Structure 1
Amino acid sequence: MKAVLATDLSAASEATIENEVCLECLGRIGIDEIHLVTVVPSNVHAGMPGIDFEKRRRKALERYRRAIESAGFDIETHVVRGTPHRRITGIAETIGASLTVAGSRGQSPLENRVIGSTARNLARTTETPLLINRIEREVDEPTMVRTHLFQRMLYATDFSDNAERAFEAFSYLRHATQEATLVHVQTPKDPGLSEGDDPGEQLAELASQLNAWGIETQTDVRQGDPAEEILAAEETHDPTTILVGSRGQSRLRRLLLGSVSEDVVARATGNVLLVPPARVT
Structure 2
Amino acid sequence: MYERILVAVDGSPSSDLAIAQAAGLAKGMGAEVKVLFVVDEGEVFLEAGFVNPQDILNGLTDFGKKALAAAARRLQDAGVRFQTELAEKSAVPGDIAGAIVGYADRWPADVIVMGTRGRRGVRRMIMGSVSEGVVAKTSKPVLLIRGEAA
With the length of structure 2 as denominator, give the TM-score of the two structures.
0.69
Task: Note closer, same or farther for the CA distance 1:258–1:176 as it changes in structure 2 (3 Å cut).
Answer: farther
Match of 2:48 in 1: none
How far apart, CA to CA, are the structure 2 residues paired with 1:161 and 1:267?
24
Q: 1:266 to 1:196 in 2, by over 3 A?
A: closer
Is residue 4 of structure 2 the alignment partner of residue 152 of structure 1? yes
Gaps of 5+ in 1: 1-147
Matches within 5 A, 1:197-212: 197-212=62-77
2:148 corresponding residue in structure 1? 278
- The one-letter amino acid of 2:71's match is L
Larger RCO of the pair (alpha carbons < 8 Å, separation 6+): 2
Asked if the contact 1:185–1:226 (Cα under 8 Å) also holds between the matched residues in 2, the reply is yes
Could you tell me which residue of structure 2 aligns to residue 215 of structure 1? 80
Q: Which residue is equivalent to 2:112?
A: 242
Match of 2:21 in 1: 169
Whose helix fraction is larger, Structure 1's or Structure 2's?
A: 2
Matches within 5 A, 1:1-281: 148=1, 150-170=2-22, 172-173=24-25, 174-188=27-41, 197-222=62-87, 223-224=89-90, 225-249=95-119, 252=121, 255=124, 258-278=128-148
- How many Å apart are 1:239 and its aligned residue? 1.2
Find the aligned partners of 1:227 and 1:214 in 2 and give their Cα distance. 29
Q: In 1, distance between residues paired with 2:17 and 2:144?
A: 11
CA-based RMSD of the aligned residues comes to 3.1
1:276: Cα distance to partner? 1.4
TM value normalised by structure 1: 0.39
CA change 1:177–1:262 in 2 (3 A) is farther
* 8 Å contact from structure 2 (residues 39, 61) kept in 1: no
Decide whether the 8 Å contact of 1:200 with 1:219 is kept in 2.
no
CA distance in 1: counterparts of 2:75 and 2:84, whole angstroms: 12
1:60-89: CA deviation from partner (whole Å, max 9, x where unpaired): xxxxxxxxxxxxxxxxxxxxxxxxxxxxxx
SS in 2 for 1:269: coil
CA distance in 1, matches of 2:131, 2:3: 21
1:167 CA drift (Å): 1.9
Instruction: Structure 2: state its 5+ residue gaps.
Output: 45-58
